[in-house]
Structure 1
Amino acid sequence: MESVSTTPAALRRAVREWPDRPALVDTQWNTPVEYTWSQLHDRVVEVAAALIASGIAHGDRVALWSPNSHHWPVAALGIHYAGGVLVPLNTRYTAGEAVDVIERSDARAVLVSGEFLGTDHAAELMTAHRGSMPDLVVRIALSDNRVPVDDAVDWDDFLSLATADTRAQAHARADAVAPDDLSDILFTSGTTGKSKGVLAEHRQTVAGSHAWGANGRLSPDDRYLMVNPYFHTFGYKAGILPCTLFGATMIPQAVYSPTEAMKHVAAQRITVFPGAPTIFQTILDEPARESVDLSSLRLVVTGASIVPVVLVERIQRDLGVDTVITAYGLTEASGFVSTCTPDDDDDTVANTCGRAFAGMEIALSEQGEVLARGKMVMRGYLDDEVATAETIDADGWLHTGDIGTLDERGNLTITDRLKDMYICGGFNVYPAEVEQTLARLDGVTESAVIGVPDERLGEVGRAYLTVRADAGLDADGVIAYAREHLANFKVPRSVVFVDAFPRNAAGKILKRELD
Structure 2
Amino acid sequence: MSLLPPIPTIPRAFAQTVSRHPDHSAIEDRGVRTSYAELDRMVLAASRALMAWGIAPGERVAIWAPNCREWIVAALGILGVGAVVVPVNTRMKGLEVGYVLEKSGARLLLSTGDFLGTHYPDLLAGHLPASLEKLLVIHGAKEGDTGWQDFIARGESVSEAAARERALSVTPEMVSDVIFTSGTTGHPKGVKCGHGQNLRTMDDWSQVMGLVPQDRYLMVNPFFHSMGYKSGWMVGIMNGLTLMPIAVFDAGEVLRTIARDKVSVLPGPPTIYYSMQSHPDFAATDLSSLRAAITGSTSTPPSLIESMRRDFGFKTVLTGYGLSECCGTAALSAPDDDAHTVATTAGRAIRDVEIKIVDTDGRTQPPDQPGEVLIRGYNVMLGYLDDEGATRQAIDADGWLHSGDIGTLDAHGYLRITDRVKDVYIAGGFNCYPAEIERLASRHPAVSQIAVIGVPDERMGEVGRAFVVRKPGVPLESGEFVTWCRAHMANYKVPQFIDFVDTLPTNASGKVLKRELRKLPVASGH
TM-score when normalising by structure 1: 0.79
- In structure 1, C-alpha distance between the alignment counterparts of 2:375 and 2:128, rounded to whole Å: 42
**Alignment partner, residue 175 of structure 1:** 168
Q: Does structure 2 retain, via aligned residues, the 8 Å contact 1:8–1:174?
A: yes
Q: Does structure 1 retain, via aligned residues, the 8 Å contact 2:105–2:131?
A: no
* Offset at residue 277 of structure 1 (A): 1.6
Q: What are the residue-to-residue correspondences of 1:277-356 with 2, within 5 Å?
A: 277-356=270-349
**Alignment partner, residue 217 of structure 2:** 224
Q: SS where residue 373 of structure 1 aligns?
A: strand
- In structure 1, C-alpha distance between the alignment counterparts of 2:422 and 2:164, rounded to whole Å: 47
- In structure 1, C-alpha distance between the alignment counterparts of 2:352 and 2:418, rounded to whole Å: 24
Matched, 1:136 2:134: yes
- In structure 2, C-alpha distance between the alignment counterparts of 1:357 and 1:70, rounded to whole Å: 30
**Long gaps (5+) in structure 1:** 422-437, 454-488, 501-515
**Alignment partner, residue 496 of structure 1:** 522
Matched, 1:247 2:273: no
- In structure 1, C-alpha distance between the alignment counterparts of 2:19 and 2:120, rounded to whole Å: 37
Q: Which residue among 250, 259, 265 is the counterpart of 2:252? A: 259
Q: What are the residue-to-residue correspondences of 1:105-254 with 2, within 5 Å?
A: 105-125=104-124, 127-129=125-127, 132=130, 134-142=132-140, 146-149=141-144, 152-163=145-156, 165-190=158-183, 193-254=186-247
* Offset at residue 140 of structure 1 (A): 1.5
- In structure 1, C-alpha distance between the alignment counterparts of 2:14 and 2:290, rounded to whole Å: 26
- Cα gap change, 1:499 to 1:78, in 2 (>3 Å): farther
**Alignment partner, residue 508 of structure 1:** none
- In structure 2, C-alpha distance between the alignment counterparts of 1:104 and 1:12, rounded to whole Å: 32
Q: Does structure 1 retain, via aligned residues, the 8 Å contact 2:98–2:129?
A: no
Q: What are the residue-to-residue correspondences of 1:371-390 with 2, within 5 Å?
A: 371-390=374-393
Q: Does structure 2 retain, via aligned residues, the 8 Å contact 1:313–1:350?
A: no
**Alignment partner, residue 395 of structure 2:** 392
* Offset at residue 130 of structure 1 (A): 5.4
- Cα gap change, 1:191 to 1:311, in 2 (>3 Å): farther
Q: SS where residue 271 of structure 1 aligns?
A: coil
- In structure 2, C-alpha distance between the alignment counterparts of 1:269 and 1:98, rounded to whole Å: 37
- In structure 2, C-alpha distance between the alignment counterparts of 1:48 and 1:450, rounded to whole Å: 42
**Alignment partner, residue 439 of structure 2:** none
Q: Which residue among 407, 415, 425 is the counterpart of 2:410? A: 407
Q: SS where residue 62 of structure 2 aligns?
A: strand
Deviations 1:256-287 (A, max 9, x none): 12112112211111100001121112112223
* Offset at residue 124 of structure 1 (A): 3.4
Q: What are the residue-to-residue correspondences of 1:38-53 with 2, within 5 Å?
A: 38-53=37-52
Q: SS where residue 224 of structure 1 aligns?
A: strand
Of 305-314 and 248-257, more deviation after overlay is shown by: 305-314
Matched, 1:78 2:81: no
Q: Does structure 2 retain, via aligned residues, the 8 Å contact 1:304–1:329?
A: no
- Cα gap change, 1:192 to 1:269, in 2 (>3 Å): farther
**Long gaps (5+) in structure 2:** 361-370, 425-455, 468-514
- In structure 1, C-alpha distance between the alignment counterparts of 2:184 and 2:210, rounded to whole Å: 32
- Cα gap change, 1:328 to 1:131, in 2 (>3 Å): closer
- In structure 1, C-alpha distance between the alignment counterparts of 2:119 and 2:459, rounded to whole Å: 34
Q: Does structure 1 retain, via aligned residues, the 8 Å contact 2:299–2:461?
A: no
Q: Does structure 2 retain, via aligned residues, the 8 Å contact 1:359–1:376?
A: no
TM-score when normalising by structure 2: 0.78
* Offset at residue 305 of structure 1 (A): 2.7
- Cα gap change, 1:85 to 1:2, in 2 (>3 Å): closer
Deviations 1:207-242 (A, max 9, x none): 122111111111100000101000110000001111
Q: Does structure 2 retain, via aligned residues, the 8 Å contact 1:64–1:111?
A: yes
Percentage of identical aligned residues:
42
- In structure 2, C-alpha distance between the alignment counterparts of 1:175 and 1:136, rounded to whole Å: 27
Deviations 1:44-70 (A, max 9, x none): 111000010111111111011000011
Q: Does structure 2 retain, via aligned residues, the 8 Å contact 1:182–1:200?
A: yes
Deviations 1:381-427 (A, max 9, x none): 11111111111011101011111111121111111112459xxxxxx
Q: What are the residue-to-residue correspondences of 1:34-73 with 2, within 5 Å?
A: 34-73=33-72
Cα RMSD of the aligned pairs, angstroms, is 2.6
- In structure 2, C-alpha distance between the alignment counterparts of 1:113 and 1:383, rounded to whole Å: 28
Deviations 1:329-388 (A, max 9, x none): 110001111001212233321221111112311111124111111111101111111111
- In structure 1, C-alpha distance between the alignment counterparts of 2:9 and 2:103, rounded to whole Å: 25
Q: What are the residue-to-residue correspondences of 1:463-482 with 2, within 5 Å?
A: none
